[in-house]
């Protein structure tokens, strides 16, 4: 049986081993369209794929070079993610965006050894923002720790600048992802004098009755949430059930999509979440998307997610990858890109309002500039609020900056610890 299976796999591997046309730009799409995280994975994957299709269909590829997207299903599972990484890296993959903090942690050492850049956009390991220790890992435009600080800054705004003695709780996915903001929130707690309580929710997060009963008993002033997948909608529903004031319940940017709030109906009204970029489909690019992708029948998935928060984010991730590739072509003056060139492109990436307007997404995301030492971007975020009657997210603030003083010190400390543990000598940036 084993021999037979091995032989059959060998046969398949031979069939698959046909080399891709050399000129293609290969972007692997490590997506998840199945499992408990699929409600969030599908719109992101669709947005990512549709943007790549748009570039191919409208512009004939990036500077005339076609983009080839290889999708691989990870199910948000690290082992499958590693299998996907190994199976796609041989096909000339230029950049990995796994949309999973767990998989990102797996890929950080592997991709660094293989010299392939990883862009964990607003997720992954926060200290990877330190480009001197993590030359191949990027997490612009903002990190989890920025997110935590942005949420606290928003609370400070609401409370008139003083939150001394307030009770703030964190409901988090009990994994690497959910644990990320704890250090930052503790540090900020020391600075601002609030009291932090933690409520871990185990994977996949369908069962949160006990957690929310505790929250009802403890009566925190604010609840922050680091949730993903079904955990989000369950939490919003439970918060509504205990009649927690929804405008005091703030999710990170991964807990703020339509899928998370729609199931709770009117109960979700007023729920807040951070935003990496603006929601909605009111942008010129959507006309092109409709013409070249959706109406042409080339949309990924069932094509029903256009305009959703996570669809926009998938599109934004694809856009940043394509822009990095464009920059790399400019720097190296070639159209035959390697992962190392893309890395250079990412490190020289500068997104201004003008770039975004030219790309059909005016006033969509923050302005930021990646440098050799700073892979984390500008660390800006907005706060959006759910309007249940209109069934849409409304942005209620302008860009909020994170507390750089606290965050940068933390990033430096964690990156140094990582460098020490793994015998990395940080490179010097001029």
Partner 1 sequence: MLYREAGDFKTSYAADQQTFPIKSERYLFWAFMAFTFLVVPFIADDYWVNSILVPLLVWSMVALGLNILTGYCGQVSLGTGGFMAVGAFACYKLMTGFPELNIFIVILLSGAVTAGVGVLFGLPSLRIKGFYLAVATLAAQFFLVWMFNKFAWFYNYSASGQITAPTRTVFGIEVTGPSAPPWAAYLACLVLVFVFAWVARNLTRGRIGRSWMAMRDMDIAAEIMGVSPLYAKLSAFAISSFYIGMGGAMLFSLYLGAAEVTEAFGIEKSFSALFMVIIGGLGSILGSFLGAAFIVLFPVLLKNIMVGYFGWPTDLAAHFQIMIVGGLIIFFLIVEPHGLAQLWRLTKEKLRLWPFPY
Contacts with partner 1 by CB under 8 A lie at: 1-2, 5-6, 8-9, 12-13, 15-16, 31, 33-34, 38, 42, 71-73, 75, 77-79, 82-83, 86-87, 89-90, 101-102, 105-106, 108-110, 112-113, 125-127, 174-177, 179-180, 182-183, 200, 202-203, 301, 414, 417, 421-423
Q: Cα separation of 133 and 139, whole Å?
A: 13
Q: How far is the CB of 98 from partner 1 (least distance, A)?
A: 13
Q: How far is the CB of 218 from partner 1 (least distance, A)?
A: 19
| Helix H or strand E encompassing 342 | helix 339-347
Residue number with CB closer to partner 1 (106 or 269): 106
Q: Cα separation of 83 and 53, whole Å?
A: 25
Residue number with CB closer to partner 1 (34 or 371): 34
Q: Half-sphere exposure of residue 111, counting CA atoms within 13 Å on the CB side?
A: 33
Residue number with CB closer to partner 1 (29 or 379): 29
Residue number with CB closer to partner 1 (29 or 251): 29
Q: How far is the CB of 410 from partner 1 (least distance, A)?
A: 9
CB 190 within 8 A of CB 160: no
Residue number with CB closer to partner 1 (72 or 158): 72
Residue number with CB closer to partner 1 (125 or 166): 125
Residue number with CB closer to partner 1 (70 or 388): 70
* Furthest C-alpha separation in the chain: 70
Q: How far is the CB of 135 from partner 1 (least distance, A)?
A: 14
Q: How far is the CB of 105 from partner 1 (least distance, A)?
A: 5
Per DSSP, the three-state class of 36 is coil
Residue number with CB closer to partner 1 (50 or 180): 180
Task: Tell me how many helices (H) and strands (E) the chain has.
Answer: 15, 14
Q: How far is the CB of 180 from partner 1 (least distance, A)?
A: 6
Q: Cα separation of 379 and 353, whole Å?
A: 16
Task: Find out whether the peptide bond into 204 is cis, omega within 30 degrees of 0.
Answer: yes
Q: How far is the CB of 216 from partner 1 (least distance, A)?
A: 23
Residue number with CB closer to partner 1 (82 or 359): 82
Q: How far is the CB of 115 from partner 1 (least distance, A)?
A: 11
Q: For residue 317, which of 76, 87, 95, 66 has the smallest C-alpha distance?
A: 95
Exposed/middle/buried for 356, CB within 10 Å: 0-12, 13-18, 19+? buried
The CA-atom distances, in angstroms, between 263 and each of 41, 172, 233, 267 are 17, 20, 7, 9
Q: Cα separation of 391 and 122, whole Å?
A: 25
Task: Find out whether the peptide bond into 141 is cis, omega within 30 degrees of 0.
Answer: yes
Q: For residue 62, which of 271, 274, 359 has the smallest C-alpha distance?
A: 359
Q: Cα separation of 52 and 66, whole Å?
A: 9
Q: How far is the CB of 96 from partner 1 (least distance, A)?
A: 14
Q: From start to end of 219-325, where are the E strands?
A: 222-226, 249-251, 272-275
């Amino acid at each position: 049986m084993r021999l037979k299976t091995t032989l059959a796999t060998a046969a398949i591997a031979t069939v698959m081993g046909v080399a891709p046309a050399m000129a293609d730009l290969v972007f692997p799409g490590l997506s998840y369209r199945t499992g408990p995280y699929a409600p969030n994975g599908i719109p992101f994957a669709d947005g990512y794929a549709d943007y790549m299709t748009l570039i191919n269909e409208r512009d004939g590829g990036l500077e005339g070079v076609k983009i080839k997207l290889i999708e691989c299903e990870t199910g948000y599972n690290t082992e499958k993610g590693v299998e996907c990484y190994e199976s796609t890296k041989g096909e000339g993959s230029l950049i990995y965006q796994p949309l999973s903090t767990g998989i990102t942690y797996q890929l950080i050492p592997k991709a660094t050894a293989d010299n392939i850049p990883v862009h964990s956009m607003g997720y992954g390991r926060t200290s990877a923002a330190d480009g001197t220790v993590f030359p191949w890992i990027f997490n612009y435009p903002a990190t989890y720790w920025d997110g935590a600080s942005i949420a606290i800054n928003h609370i400070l705004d609401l409370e008139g600048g003083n939150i001394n003695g307030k009770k703030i709780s964190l409901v988090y996915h009990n994994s690497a992802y959910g644990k990320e903001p704890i250090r930052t929130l503790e540090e900020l707690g020391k600075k601002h004098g609030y009291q932090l309580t933690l409520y871990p929710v185990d994977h996949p997060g369908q069962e949160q009755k006990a957690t929310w009963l505790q929250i009802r008993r403890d009566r925190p002033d604010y609840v922050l949430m680091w949730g993903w997948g079904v955990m989000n909608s369950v939490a919003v529903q439970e918060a509504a059930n205990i009649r927690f004031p929804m405008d005091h319940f703030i999710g990170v940017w991964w807990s703020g999509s339509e899928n998370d709030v729609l199931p709770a109906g009117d109960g979700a009204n007023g729920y807040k979440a951070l935003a990496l970029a603006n929601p909605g489909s009111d942008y010129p690019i959507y006309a092109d998307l409709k013409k070249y992708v959706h109406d042409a029948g080339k949309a990924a998935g069932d094509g029903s997610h256009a305009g959703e928060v996570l669809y926009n984010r998938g599109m934004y991730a694809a856009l940043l990858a394509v822009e990095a590739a464009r920059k790399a072509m400019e720097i190296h003056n070639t159209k035959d890109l390697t992962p190392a060139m893309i890395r250079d492109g990412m490190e020289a990436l500068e997104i201004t309002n003008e770039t975004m307007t030219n790309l059909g997404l005016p006033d969509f995301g923050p302005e930021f500039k990646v440098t050799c030492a700073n892979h984390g971007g500008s660390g800006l975020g907005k706060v959006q609020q759910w309007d249940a009657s209109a069934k849409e997210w409304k942005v209620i603030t302008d860009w909020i900056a994170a507390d750089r003083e606290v965050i940068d010190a933390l990033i430096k400390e964690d990156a140094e610890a990582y460098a020490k543990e793994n015998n990395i000598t940080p490179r010097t940036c001029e």
